[in-house]
Amino acid sequence: MTDIRGRRSVARAIALTAAAAMAVVVSAPASGQAPVRADQPWMDPKMRPEARAKAALAAMTLDEKLRLIFGYSDQALTELAKVPDDVVSPELKSYVVSRLVKGSAGFVPGVPRLGIPDQTQTDASMGVRNSFIPSTALPSSLATAASFDPEVPRAGGRMIGAETRATGHNTMLSGGINLAREPRNGRNFEYVGEDPLLAGTMAGALIEGIQSNRIISTIKHYAVNDQETLRTTLDVTISAAAMRQSDLLAFELAIEKSSPGSVMCSYNLINGRWGCENDYLLNTVLKGDWGYKGFVMSDWGAVHSTVGAANNGLDQFTGFCCVADKPWFAPPAMKAALQSGAVTQARLDDMVTRILWALFAKGPVDDPVKVTPIDYAAHAAVAQKAAEDSLVLLKNDGNLLPLRGVKSIAVIGGSADKGVLAGAGSSDVTPVGGAVKVGGHTYLPSPPLDALRRELPRTRIAFDAGADPAAAAAIAAQSDVAIVFVTRHNSEGSEASLEMVDNQDALVAAVAKANPKTIVVAETGGAIYMPWVNDVPAILEAFYPGIRGGPVIARILTGKVNPSGHLPISFPASADQLARPVIAGLGEPDGTPAEVLYDEGAAIGYKWYDVKGYKPLWAFGHGLSYTRFALSDLKAQPDGRSVRLTLTIRNTGKRPGKGVSQVYLAPADWRKVGWEAPKRLGAFAKADLKPGQSKRIELTIDPRLLAIYEAANNNWHIKAGTYRLMVGQASDSPMETTEIALPDSLWSASLNH
Ligand code: BGC
């Protein structure tokens, strides 16, 4: 897509070979073997990161400190020269321009004299985004969340972290975790679903995987940045309790699990204060209650002041460039704020200490990144496994799938002859093998049509692009089976309506009428409406399935892989089920002030449907398999404030497969104990089982999932009473249940980790 602020298009215009780009290497001090210089004690990896940061800070001049808090976007390469020399000095300009990794998201200069490396930043959660360097595209984050298995994003994170390092970047802008409060949010594909526990677990695992490469990862966008429309001017009104039990809980869980080096504050306002100068979110909750030691970096263009941002918790202004942006954290502005006393030296030192802490604790100082070759084949295998564990079989009437003994297939629509769809925006990976552009959208070069032909060499497979429903129906009528691919493009900076575009609903309806054995494969960023849901016997939700999407779709349709994904979001049945019929500000020009009241509070997704008594099109947690699983022997016992439980999952079908146990919690009277909804996801686990095999699973419920947040005293509070524990294979499936009586329990929400 065209970049919202034009920076990526500028980057693309720069004529630079990949080889030249790869030659830009971050320099940093030698680690390990080299003796630590007596005058640089902070270079000793055996020292604690806190002590190293303190010692390095003490050695820094004011100008050196100011380098670390102000970063540049890659537009600097062409635009920085236009910035007056008294804002960014000529020395700094040439340093930035000579060392920025071309095509990356941004750059923060280091202090070579002291061994402090530059921060070379790249997006994002599906892979390295550098327009000059091909990378491996994982399935969308929403897809990997559907695996219900944190090992999937962890392995994906290890892989993209390795590519981050091997392409000369040491800071990943990866770990998108905004809850799918708004099913039309154009960025839901970059996030990890609608439930705080699932999202926190999956994003936390991704960040852990990335940071295992001794680089920094960045959880984002903090916080409640749940729609794209007017994202830079939207003021979100939401109560503290609702936030703590929903969006913030997702962040809290992920940060606890993975300790990301940085947190990116968001574009929007929350309760009247910008995300990047929000005292409550940044100082009170993140750095106070959660004891976060890393630094807060701004989203690109999300800073609105010097003093307000600095004092309310922003540590680093990132992505500056160059003419339109105001240099709020550039040396002259920050020096003036220091001189007037509006920002204290202690606050500046805190900003720098936090950045240094991340650089020491996460690896960039001791293990400087350098450009090395990438094993793309091995990495594609990681992306393939991720997709195999994540695609969701929504419907399979009469066990039409897996395909057996089929002589002829009509493959229709969705550019299935060209590739699989990807989302757009700052997560846009330049894929290995080159992007295929169809109607301005990026398809990854992994055509399902070719893969199906490879999997089924003896089957006659015809293809029709699907432009004319009647023509497609005619081909479908002559085939044993029809497979219709439908696609829904989503992008940063805009929303996606839930209706399919380009006459695709009519296409499915026409094909289904012509051939009762019609299978729909949906490549979508998130939920869609399916007006044809009752007309087709089988539906596979493929999301954006990544660089090996084609083979994975073919392997699932033919039974080589048994599907095991479960929906990380609810699919609404119709617009009247949405919490807000119209997205706030939709259609208004960018920059228009807008407001939205999130009065559904923490009742997001399935919780909203439960409160309202709505039946969604597809429920959170839903997903079919080619085998069957039985859940039994659920036992629970209190364990301090937590609850420990055990249950048995057995594969009762005829094929090996992976079954997901989902434990939901339900107070006897949810309104009485102050919950936002009748039930919450409390734990989940995936088990790989042969036919007849069973496994005893042990799980622990985090006490916060049993509690409410009480703002008055900043407490978590489990209200005494009976709580039902229910285990099923979807939020709307039959459940095995047990009950437990819990005593009243109250504890501080501060430093609760
Ligand atoms: C996005 C961020 C991204 C940044 C840098 C912004 O537009 O909101 O997610 O990390 O750009 O590319």
Position 34 scores a pLDDT of 75
- pLDDT of residue 26 exceeding 50, the answer is no
The two structure tokens encoding residue 383: 């992306």
User: Given pLDDT bands bounded at 50, 70 and 90, which one contains residue 284?
Assistant: very high
Distance 426 CA to ligand 1 centre (A): 5
Average pLDDT over residues 351-360: 99
Distance (Å, whole) CA 702 – CA 355: 30
Task: Name the closest-CA residue to atom 5, ligand 1.
Answer: 105
- pLDDT of residue 446 exceeding 60, the answer is yes
What is each CA distance from 334 to 199, 331, 341, 450, in whole angstroms?
37, 5, 10, 57
- pLDDT of residue 358 exceeding 80, the answer is yes
Radius of gyration of the chain (CA): 26
Do the strands 481-488 and 518-524 form a parallel or antiparallel pair, or are they unpaired? parallel
Distance (Å, whole) CA 319 – CA 733: 46
Distance 668 CA to ligand 1 centre (A): 43
Q: pLDDT tens for residues 541-571?
A: 999 999 999 999 999 999 999 999 999 999 9
Average pLDDT over residues 478-502: 96
Average pLDDT over residues 432-442: 96
Ligand 1 pocket, 173 CB below 6 A? yes
Distance (Å, whole) CA 344 – CA 332: 15
Position 496 scores a pLDDT of 87
**For the residues of 194-223, what is the DSSP string, one character each?**
S-HHHHHHHHHHHHHHHHTTSSEEEEEEET
Task: Name the closest-CA residue to atom 4, ligand 1.
Answer: 300
Which ligand 1 atom sits nearest the alpha carbon of residue 231?
8
Task: Name the closest-CA residue to atom 3, ligand 1.
Answer: 426
Q: Which residues have CB under 8 Å from 250's CB, separation 6+?
A: 177, 179, 192, 196, 199, 200, 203
Neighbours of 318 (CB within 10 A): 30
At position 137, the amino acid (one-letter code) is: A
Distance 37 CA to ligand 1 centre (A): 38
Q: pLDDT tens for residues 708-738?
A: 999 999 999 999 999 999 999 999 999 999 9
Position 323 scores a pLDDT of 84
Distance 563 CA to ligand 1 centre (A): 33
Do the strands 518-524 and 538-541 form a parallel or antiparallel pair, or are they unpaired? parallel
Neighbours of 696 (CB within 10 A): 11
Residue of 228, 135, 243, 235 whose CA lies nearest to 188: 228
Ligand 1 pocket, 74 CB below 6 A? no
Position 7 scores a pLDDT of 37
Q: pLDDT tens for residues 597-627?
A: 999 999 999 999 999 999 999 999 999 999 9
Distance (Å, whole) CA 242 – CA 604: 10
Distance 300 CA to ligand 1 centre (A): 6
Spell out the SS3 assignment of 656-690: CEEEEEEEEEEECCCCCCCCCCCCEEEEEEEEEEC
Provide the CA 238 distance to its chain's centre, in angstroms.
22
Distance 538 CA to ligand 1 centre (A): 37
Task: Name the closest-CA residue to atom 6, ligand 1.
Answer: 300
Residue of 49, 29, 26 whose CA lies nearest to 39: 29
Ligand 1 pocket, 107 CB below 6 A? no
Ligand 1 pocket, 299 CB below 6 A? yes
Ligand 1 pocket, 426 CB below 6 A? yes
Position 30 scores a pLDDT of 47
Ligand 1 pocket, 188 CB below 6 A? no
Distance 231 CA to ligand 1 centre (A): 12
Distance 738 CA to ligand 1 centre (A): 45
Distance (Å, whole) CA 329 – CA 345: 14
Distance (Å, whole) CA 138 – CA 436: 16
Task: Name the closest-CA residue to atom 11, ligand 1.
Answer: 300
Q: Tell me the best of 300, 429, 494 to mutate to test the pocket of ligand 1, counting ligand atoms within 8 Å of each CB and taking the most.
A: 300
Which ligand 1 atom sits nearest the alpha carbon of residue 176?
9
Which ligand 1 atom sits nearest the alpha carbon of residue 425?
7
- For tokens 């001794």, the residue is 214
Sign of the CA dihedral running 558, 563, 568, 573: positive
Distance 122 CA to ligand 1 centre (A): 9
Position 390 scores a pLDDT of 98
Distance 199 CA to ligand 1 centre (A): 19
Distance 156 CA to ligand 1 centre (A): 20
Q: pLDDT tens for residues 153-170?
A: 999 999 999 999 999 999
Q: Tell me the best of 125, 492, 494, 590 to mutate to test the pocket of ligand 1, counting ligand atoms within 8 Å of each CB and taking the most.
A: 492
Ligand 1 pocket, 220 CB below 6 A? yes
- pLDDT of residue 628 exceeding 70, the answer is yes
Position 624 scores a pLDDT of 98
| Secondary structure (3-state) at 49 | helix
User: Given pLDDT bands bounded at 50, 70 and 90, which one contains residue 693?
Assistant: very high
Q: pLDDT tens for residues 293-328?
A: 999 999 999 999 999 999 999 999 999 998 889 999
Average pLDDT over residues 224-244: 97
- pLDDT of residue 246 exceeding 90, the answer is yes
Percentage above 90 pLDDT, the chain:
94
Angle between helices 331-340 and 345-362 (to 10 degrees): 130
Task: Name the closest-CA residue to atom 8, ligand 1.
Answer: 299
DSSP H helices, 503-627, are 504-514, 549-558, 606-612
Distance 423 CA to ligand 1 centre (A): 14
Ligand 1 pocket, 300 CB below 6 A? yes
Residue of 147, 169, 148 whose CA lies nearest to 160: 169
Ligand 1 pocket, 177 CB below 6 A? no
Distance (Å, whole) CA 379 – CA 156: 9
Which ligand 1 atom sits nearest the alpha carbon of residue 123?
10
Ligand 1 pocket, 3 CB below 6 A? no
Secondary element (H or E) of residue 162: helix 151-166
Q: Which residues have CB under 8 Å from 408's CB, separation 6+?
A: 459, 460, 461, 462, 478, 479, 480, 481
Q: pLDDT tens for residues 47-100?
A: 999 999 999 999 999 999 999 999 999 999 999 999 999 999 999 999 999 999
Distance (Å, whole) CA 737 – CA 379: 41
- pLDDT of residue 11 exceeding 60, the answer is no
Position 1 scores a pLDDT of 31
Ligand 1 pocket, 228 CB below 6 A? no
Distance 609 CA to ligand 1 centre (A): 32
Provide the CA 667 distance to its chain's centre, in angstroms.
30
pTM for this one? 0.95
Position 10 scores a pLDDT of 32
> What does pLDDT average to over the chain?
95
Q: Tell me the best of 5, 188, 426 to mutate to test the pocket of ligand 1, counting ligand atoms within 8 Å of each CB and taking the most.
A: 426
The two structure tokens encoding residue 530: 């399916």
- pLDDT of residue 33 exceeding 70, the answer is no
Q: pLDDT tens for residues 361-405?
A: 999 999 999 999 999 999 999 999 999 999 999 999 999 999 999
Ligand 1 pocket, 123 CB below 6 A? yes
Distance (Å, whole) CA 242 – CA 223: 13
Ligand 1 pocket, 105 CB below 6 A? yes
User: Given pLDDT bands bounded at 50, 70 and 90, which one contains residue 752?
Assistant: low
Q: Tell me the best of 173, 232, 263 to mutate to test the pocket of ligand 1, counting ligand atoms within 8 Å of each CB and taking the most.
A: 173
